[in-house]
Homo-oligomer: A and B are copies of this chain.
Amino acid sequence: MSSTVTLGDLALTLGVSKTLISLVLNNKGTTYGISQATQKKVFKLAKKLNYQPNLVARGLREGKTNTVGLVVSDIANPFYSKMARHIEDFLSAKDYHLVICSTDEEPEREHKIIKLMREKQFDGIIVSTSQRKTGDFKQLMREKYPFVLIDRKIKSIKTNFIGINNFQATYQAVKYLIGEGYSQIAAMAVSPVYVSSIKERIKGYRHAMADSGFDLTQQRLVEIPFDKVKTAVKTEIQKLIQSPHPVNALFAINNNIAVACLEAFRELQIALPKDIAFIAFDDIDAFRLTTPTVTAIDQPLEEICQHAVDILLNEIARPRRAKKEIILSPSLIIRQSVKKL
């Protein structure tokens, strides 16, 4: 591809061995008894010819790429891009690189990405999985390949996992709505609903409702397909509003749905919190900028990422460690989108 100078080139022009060059440039010259004079010559030539080591070759030799993969559904989602940024920072402090891939919630795509990362010899991966099948992860465990799940766990196998208590957070949020006097409360979920975080949030909604005496017929759970959030949200909101028992509170199960809801409210001229109370899961910048501001559940992103990176790098350093599961608590940030009835 490009005019590249290798160890061999340096060795040749200097009339010494590749070994010597390698030793010197890796600062092992003195320990290996290379004379100062020779070392100087090597450094000088390397600089002059702008020698740049081929890290692919080194990676092959060392069986290490200093690269970690991050698999998420969509890096353009601020929830994930913020995480990515934290992870990148923690990794780069330890001289690791981050590769990010988006799956669009497609299990098959995720499978391919994980395979590719594996084949590219990434030292480990961090995954917010969209798969319900556990095959990939079982395989990785069999191979003792380091990985950490974040945000979404898979029951049935014990893996490293860092996430939050989705059930409790949702339960608390819905209870808050009820406490403020709301009774017609709908939740809007996003497919695939089989991912653990969504499932737990749905469960949190159902239990909070049931515990307050609202049976299944009084619960309204709407499911929005991931690939047509915007249009589906709008029509569903219309339905909820125009139903015989119009909804007066809405819980949005993630930031994606929430943004679509806010847009729909505006288009349909539904005023918050007068016409409808609103709570979102995941806190984003926009929620502090709207009028009214949006009450939301905020995840401790940085902490999640810190743990994920720590555990992953630890496992990379010495495999065969016990799997760790860390469940953190998000906080309900009360703003203005819910008023007392």
Chain A residues within CB distance 8 Å of chain B:
1-4, 50, 52-57, 59-60, 63-65, 67, 74-76, 78, 81-82, 84-85, 88-89, 92, 97-102, 115-116, 118-121, 123, 139, 142-146, 259, 262-263, 266, 285-286, 288-291, 316, 319
CB-CB < 8 A to A59: which residues of B?
Answer: 56
CB-CB < 8 A to A56: which residues of B?
Answer: 56, 59-60, 65, 120-121
CB-CB < 8 A to A121: which residues of B?
Answer: 54-56
CB-CB < 8 A to A286: which residues of B?
Answer: 285-286, 289-290
**Contact: A319 with B2, CB < 8 Å?**
yes
Not counting A56-B65, A75-B81, a sample of 14 additional A-B residue pairs whose C-beta atoms are within 8 angstroms of each other reads: A1-B145, A1-B146, A3-B142, A56-B60, A56-B121, A74-B85, A76-B84, A81-B81, A84-B100, A88-B100, A88-B101, A88-B102, A98-B101, A286-B289
CB-CB < 8 A to A76: which residues of B?
Answer: 78, 81-82, 84-85
Output the least CB separation between A216 and chain B (Å).
33
**Contact: A102 with B75, CB < 8 Å?**
no
How long is the Cα–Cα vector from A266 to B145 in the complex, in angstroms? 49
How long is the Cα–Cα vector from A143 to B52 in the complex, in angstroms? 12
How long is the Cα–Cα vector from A316 to B263 in the complex, in angstroms? 42
**Contact: B289 with A259, CB < 8 Å?**
yes
Please name the 7 residue pairs, one residue from A and one from B, whose CB atoms are nearest each other, closest first: A286-B286, A81-B81, A76-B85, A291-B291, A2-B143, A55-B120, A55-B119
CB-CB < 8 A to A88: which residues of B?
Answer: 75, 100-102
**Contact: B143 with A3, CB < 8 Å?**
yes
Output the least CB separation between A293 and chain B (Å).
8
User: Taking CB as reference atom, which chain B residue is nearest A288?
Assistant: B263
CB-CB < 8 A to A289: which residues of B?
Answer: 259, 262-263, 266, 286, 289-290
Name, among A55, A78, A115, A289, the residue most crowded by chain B CB atoms within 10 Å (CB to CB). Answer: A289
User: Taking CB as reference atom, which chain B residue is nearest A54?
Assistant: B121
How long is the Cα–Cα vector from A78 to B142 in the complex, in angstroms? 38
Known: A3-B144, A75-B85. A98 touches B97 (CB 8 A): no
CB-CB < 8 A to A288: which residues of B?
Answer: 263, 266
Known: A2-B144, A144-B1, A286-B285. A97 touches B74 (CB 8 A): no
**Contact: A54 with B119, CB < 8 Å?**
yes
Name, among A85, A92, A98, A288, the residue most crowded by chain B CB atoms within 10 Å (CB to CB). Answer: A85
How long is the Cα–Cα vector from A3 to B139 in the complex, in angstroms? 11
CB-CB < 8 A to A50: which residues of B?
Answer: 139
How long is the Cα–Cα vector from A143 to B4 in the complex, in angstroms? 8
Known: A76-B82, A119-B53, A121-B55. A1 touches B63 (CB 8 A): yes
Name, among A121, A259, A263, A288, the residue most crowded by chain B CB atoms within 10 Å (CB to CB). Answer: A121
How long is the Cα–Cα vector from A286 to B293 in the complex, in angstroms? 12
CB-CB < 8 A to A118: which residues of B?
Answer: 52
Output the least CB separation between A70 and chain B (Å).
10
How long is the Cα–Cα vector from A81 to B284 in the complex, in angstroms? 14
How long is the Cα–Cα vector from A97 to B118 in the complex, in angstroms? 13
Choice from B60, B115, B259, B263 contacting A60 with Cβ under 8 Å: B60
CB-CB < 8 A to A139: which residues of B?
Answer: 50
